[in-house]
Amino acid sequence: MINLETPRKFRPFVKQAHQVAEEFLRVNSRKYDLAEHAYPKELDLLAALVDGMGDSGQGQGAGAAGVRRDEDDGEKNAKVKNGTNMSSLLSIIEMCWADVGLLLSMPRQGLGNSAIASVANEEQLERFKGTWAAMAITEPSTGSDSAAITTTAVKDGDAYILNGEKIYVTSGDRADSVVVWATLDKSLGRAAIKSFLVTKDTPGIRVERLEHKLGIRASDTAVILLDNCRVPAENLLGNAEIDTKQGFAGAMATFDNTRPLVAGMAVGCARAALEDIRVLLEEAGVEIDYDRPLQTQSYAAATFISMEADWEAALLLTLEAAWLADNRKPNSMEASMAKAKAGRVGNEITLRCVELAGTLGYSEGSLLEKWSRDSKILDIFEGTQQIQQLIVARRLLGLSSTELR
């Protein structure tokens, strides 16, 4: 059974993560928001600290953990685990309390690292250890439907030839490798989609351009082209066999890990906004009383209490999804529930805080306006709000993707 308190063994780590977030990320937040595409050099030292914590067993960074189903689950009454998924989530919440874009820019902590951790075999886990992997899924003609990707991978001797275009690749320019999703056979649909680890020095892969964005401006977002890119066959992550019975489940296991992490990003960003607006409201003489009905309090106080309740719900759903992953329990529905709830209310909370702060919230004198811009992407990438609701509906009704679109 899940315990809603922060596990005791993680409390020093969470405290340390918050201190790092405050001293490294928050102080540089506005600087790199204004200097879009400039590499945050301060992160090199921070990445070294994170690597040190990971090597010492104190914790993992964003995307370092994975959801693996091929291990022995043990007895039904096995001891409850709080492992790398929970520690990654807790650290992400603290980091995104400071800055989402800078967290996404952390060396060796790309979303592609979650794909490696989730589907790679043991030999690949060891071989790709230490790489900084971006993840390339989205294409110009393929938005939230990851199963409709058209990038091809054709077997040629001891390699695969990849051709296609990927857009909105987070850390696509800075990362040293990219996990590319491609199809081995378009006629076989979802089942033929596999992921490949492509190093950036491989001939045939290139960054075409960097996108200018509304938020997370410290993070580089790239368009990547693959033109007869020859990738070693052993860089196909996991099993190369096409299993039409399993369908898309293997590739989608990556999202069981990354969606709770993105939900954690929204939870952290929204918490920052709630903390700031509470200070502003109290300075303005607004009394927030949890013992009185909302209708008897001021609009500002009632709005704040409602936002806190929504935030708490998002946090608990997110913790549950990570806990299930650590305990080798299916979490696909819970991961989508957490992503849907946190993504939506995170953006709603940051925007409402801007509204409550008035002119201060709309100016660069406060980080509230920045958090409202940053939070929007957290409701979009890793599957939009609508896609998450569709996944949850399929799980609840027991319907397939062809039966419920």
- Give the residue numbers marked as catalytic: 382
Q: Which amino acid type is present at position 34?
A: L
Q: What is the C-alpha separation between 117 and 124, in angstroms, rounded?
A: 9
Query: Strand, helix or coil at 226?
Result: strand
Alpha-helix residue ranges (DSSP H) falling in 63-157: 84-98, 100-104, 111-119, 122-127
Sign of CA dihedral 384, 394, 194, 187: negative
Strand partners, 229: 162
Backbone Cα Rg of the chain: 21
DSSP 8-state assignment for residue 157: T
Q: What is the C-alpha separation between 180 and 203, in angstroms, rounded?
A: 15
Q: What is the C-alpha separation between 68 and 44, in angstroms, rounded?
A: 29
DSSP 8-state assignment for residue 73: -
- The 3-class SS string of 364-388 reads CCCCHHHHHHHHHHCCCCCCCHHHH
Strand partners, 198: 178
